Amino acid sequence: MLRVEQLCKSFAGTTVVKKLSFEIGAGESFGLLGPNGAGKTTTIKMLVGALAPDSGSITLHGQSMHESPEIRRKLGVAPQSLSLYENLTGRENLVFFAKLYGLKGQELKTRVDWALDLADLVSRQKDLVATYSGGMQRRLNFACAVVHNPDLILLDEPTVGVDPQSRDHLFRSIEKAKSEGKTILYTTHYMEEAERLCDRIAIMDEGSILAVDTVANLIAKHGGAATITGELEEELKAQLQNDALVWDDCQFRLTSHEPVKAIAELAGSGLPFKALNIKQANLESVFFSLTGRTLRDA
């Protein structure tokens, strides 16, 4: 459905998007996971036509965005920096964006009512957006992206600065869109969000995609070993004969590619562990093995 090929963008001689290529199939939810400055927003801006690429191509439904800009009507975007009019009401904002995409008459009204309901803002629709909480504004930002019923929804860090309830609400709305067959491009630097929502994830850093696959395949290929952690009383430590354990006071750590077997062996000692846990490799370990940094301090 969407094909991005060899996309490049520089600002003042610094390349921030480097030969980026990826494809998203119809109905797929695809994540761009990367730290601050990875080039996620720059990529989204090129997809929606807000920034011209230096080179490369973007095609949607087989049509070049450059040659057929009207194809952009089939996509909807919730930008990272909110695109809302604070001195208009929530409803007026939705009407504005719906009209921009050519809706009118009864269809416009029906879609705006639908979007207000989706964002759970029916009771606040006549209030100025300036009076909305951060979470309500994010929900409205999302509703404005989908009011014209686009095929492809681009969400640029849609949960940043949002309270847990609104975040949950946004997640449910996105999952609903997904279950209705919408195609989603989701950027985030939260691995939990990417894991929950995305069928496939591109790990992005410094303008390039380092790996792209399903979560399970990324972890299997790049995640490395699982970690087992545990704790024993000081006087019992000597009874645990295992050279692979790394001790820190009464707590120990062990990495293993067969964590279930390893934990069973430890448990088989019969010692009264105060704690014994498996931490499976996750996207954080994938990012670390690909970049040598963690997502959080990258």
Ligand X SMILES: Nc1ncnc2c1ncn2[C@@H]1O[C@H](COP(=O)(O)OP(=O)(O)OP(=O)(O)O)[C@@H](O)[C@H]1O
Q: Which residues bind Mg ion (CB under 5 A)?
A: 40-41, 80
Can you state the angle between helices 105-118 and 134-146, rounded to 10 degrees? 140
Residues touching ligand X, count (CB under 6 A)? 13
> Quick check: 38 binds ligand X (CB under 6 A)?
yes
User: Is 80 or 251 the residue whose CB approaches ligand X more closely?
Assistant: 80
- Between the CA atoms of 255, 260, 263 and 269, what dihedral angle is there, to the nearest 10 degrees? -140
User: CA-to-CA distance for 137 and 52, rounded, in angstroms?
Assistant: 28
- By CB under 6 A, tell whether 138 contacts ligand X: no
DSSP per-residue codes, 29-66: EEEEE--TTSSHHHHHHHHHTSS--SEEEEEETTEETT
Counting contacts by CB under 6 A, is residue 11 touching ligand X?
A: yes
The entry of Mg ion, ligand X, none near residue 38 (CB within 5 to 8 angstroms by kind) is: ligand X
Stretch that binds ligand X, among 32-40, 128-136, 219-227, 282-290 (CB under 6 A): 32-40
> 15 vs 255, which CB is nearer to ligand X?
15
Distance in angstroms (rounded) separating the CA atoms of residues 39 and 23:
17
Query: Per rule CB under 6 A, is residue 37 in the interface with ligand X?
Result: yes
Q: Which residues in 74-133 contact ligand X (CB under 6 A)?
A: 80
- What are φ and ψ of residue 132, in 5° steps? -80, 150
Distances in whole angstroms, Cα of residue 53 to Cα of each of 12, 19, 80: 14, 11, 19
Residue 54 touching ligand X (CB under 6 A): no
Least Å distance, CB 43 to ligand X, is 7
* 41 is a contact residue toward ligand X (CB under 6 A): yes
Binding site for ligand X (CB under 6 A): 11, 16, 34, 36-42, 80, 157, 189
